[in-house]
Structure 1
Amino acid sequence: MTQPRSLVVNPDRFNENIMMIKEMGFDPLKSMFIQAVYIMSVISKSTWEAKLEVYKSEGWSENEILHAFKSQPMCMALSEKKIRKMSRYFVKKMGWKPSVISRNPSIMNFSLEKRIHPRCSVLQILMSEGLIDKDSNPAWALLLSEKDFKEKFVIKNQEKVPKIRREYQNMIGVVGLDIESKELDGIQKF
């Protein structure tokens, strides 16, 4: 019911997809199984192979690709251009290993300009100030809601790093990230 397009494919191909997905270790009773069936139904074998090659060309191992697909099947629905762009940003700009990305594959779906780059800029500032351990895995911060990210990283640290709010504001292009002092009082500092 959630992915009816998956049922429109050739029955032989549908069965082949089901067998392949089961062999990958998907549990047929979980929702990720349905998403995997959908993805395998809407992309051709040649497109699947081409995307595997793109991930591999960006330094991903087969295990990392499989792990990402099992965690977030939509990572194989991304265009080859987006896979390259996101992988290169995380690996070259942020210095992350593909294994970090494969453990958090949902981050590949976000907008580089609107979400990833602004948040990573804040994280880099905090790392340079010693407020975040450089060896930590900050990828989880990209998954937070906008409100939670601002509270945990921008507001919490604006006294220690006064430029952080301005930098984040400039990065996201928002005028008025201004927060009333009474709002600051109600925010827990972790």
Structure 2
Amino acid sequence: MLHLRKRVLSHLLSAAPAPSTSRLLSLHRLLSAAAPAVSPNPSFAVEEYLVGACGLTRAQALKASAKLSHLKSPANPDAVLAFLAGLGLSGADVAAVVAKDPRFLCAKVERTLSPVVVGLTGLGLSPCDIARLVLLVPDNFRQRCVVSKLEYYLPLFGSFENMIRPLKHGSSILDSDLERVVKPNVSLLAECGIGACDIAKLFVCSPWILCAKPGRVLEMVACAEGIGVPCGSGMFRQALQAVSYLSEDKLAAKVDYLKKTFRWSDTEVRTAVSKWPVVLRCSKDTLQRKSEFLISKVGLEPARIAHWPVILGLNLEGRLRPRYHVMRFLKENGLLKRDPSDCTIVKLTEKEFLEKFICPHKDAAPYLAEDYATACRGEVPARFIFA
């Protein structure tokens, strides 16, 4: 029986991507013919079935069996296992699905699972895509409304890959009410001047915004404007994403920390946040270390950093510190004809930096490239230690 069902589903899933109603009916008839009438089996032990047929560990089976105590026969679970095999899932994949959602074994193949596959195939999903969806959100997959939800989400996110990313961290976007929550939030953000592409980027990185109560999203919008980033500006999406992580109290505390750490005035912290809202998401440790380096070591003025806050997003150990060492070495040894700006030094790509400041000095400083590579690994070569 398992073999027959696997062949049926494999055949249908390998067909053209626009399934017809007749093909769905054929699936229903074939599966019905393959399935025996369900009758209670007094010897059926759910826990043993989960271990033997589904591949769960004993501990997993014990936990899952509590949700399947009503099962009296293996008939429906057998049909579900055949369905999963037909999707191309391995034994380990099947065990993962059942362990994550034991009630998947109770789903009706004819009534629910097969129509979902047909519907998703009609939306352009490949058998591989469908299998990934089952693995990520088995509880949502056994609900026929998943098809209409994906019909809305796929164009919103722009691609299946974009849509699948937030699902790796939870199924909230599929659990949310489209009409009362999701669509009002999308409309609100569009009214704030966020284009379709930026809305997709926002939801890929911060899917909870999509699923938040519309009133909460309004609060986020007001908060983003409150830190100096108006609706419609190029930084508004990043500002909205940054404040979505913080309560009002935490946001105020973070602003105070920025002022103290970088010696900024109220105007300067507002300038920095409006130019690079991501600074609100940086950890205190990261901000402290970069403040000590940029202000105490490099000698940058706090006002300069406030007007160029993106420098705080650059890797301290892998870019800022090693390049500082190189420039200091070149100056100390009289190898610089003129001082480049700090902005130029850190904005160059790695290839450009090597070509401009390392390669031209290979005769005068043959060990410079090696010392720079060492510095990029977090070590300070002796030649980069100055009195």
Both proteins in one fold, TM over 0.5:
yes
Is residue 100–residue 137 contact of structure 1 (8 Å, CA) maintained in 2?
no
Is residue 101–residue 139 contact of structure 1 (8 Å, CA) maintained in 2?
no
Aligned length: 173
Mark the CA change 1:31 to 1:163 in structure 2 (over 3 Å): closer, same or farther.
same
**Partner residue, 1:107:** 311
Bigger Cα displacement from structure 2, 73-82 vs 136-145 = 136-145
| 1:42 and 2:245 matched | yes
C-alpha displacement at 1:63, in angstroms?
2.4
Structure 2 distance, partners of 1:25, 1:51, is: 15
Structure 2 distance, partners of 1:121, 1:22, is: 40
Bigger Cα displacement from structure 2, 29-38 vs 161-170 = 161-170
| Structure 1: stretches of 5+ with no match in the other structure | 175-190
Is residue 123–residue 138 contact of structure 1 (8 Å, CA) maintained in 2?
no
Structure 2 distance, partners of 1:133, 1:98, is: 24
Is residue 230–residue 236 contact of structure 2 (8 Å, CA) maintained in 1?
yes
Is residue 26–residue 33 contact of structure 1 (8 Å, CA) maintained in 2?
yes
Q: What whole-Å deviation, never above 9, does each CA across 1:50-78 have from its counterpart, x for those lacking one?
A: 22122111212222222222222111110
Structure 1 distance, partners of 2:267, 2:356, is: 32
- Match for 1:52 among 237, 255, 259? 255
SS in 2 for 1:36: helix
**Partner residue, 2:214:** 11
**Partner residue, 1:182:** none
One-letter code aligned to 1:33: F
Structure 2 distance, partners of 1:92, 1:74, is: 23
One-letter code aligned to 1:105: P
Superposition RMSD on alpha carbons, in Å? 2.6
SS in 2 for 1:92: helix
Normalising by structure 2, we get a TM-score of 0.40
Write the mapping of 1:162-181 to structure 2, written as runs, cut at 5 A: 162-173=366-377
Write the mapping of 1:88-103 to structure 2, written as runs, cut at 5 A: 88-103=292-307
Normalising by structure 1, we get a TM-score of 0.76
C-alpha displacement at 1:86, in angstroms?
0.9
| Structure 2: stretches of 5+ with no match in the other structure | 1-199, 379-387
Percent of matched pairs sharing the same residue? 26
Is residue 100–residue 139 contact of structure 1 (8 Å, CA) maintained in 2?
no
- Match for 2:283 among 52, 71, 79? 79
Mark the CA change 1:162 to 1:77 in structure 2 (over 3 Å): closer, same or farther.
same
Mark the CA change 1:157 to 1:69 in structure 2 (over 3 Å): closer, same or farther.
farther
C-alpha displacement at 1:3, in angstroms?
1.2
Is residue 228–residue 273 contact of structure 2 (8 Å, CA) maintained in 1?
no
C-alpha displacement at 1:116, in angstroms?
1.7
**Partner residue, 1:2:** 201
Is residue 273–residue 280 contact of structure 2 (8 Å, CA) maintained in 1?
yes
C-alpha displacement at 1:27, in angstroms?
4.6
Is residue 255–residue 269 contact of structure 2 (8 Å, CA) maintained in 1?
yes
SS in 2 for 1:2: helix
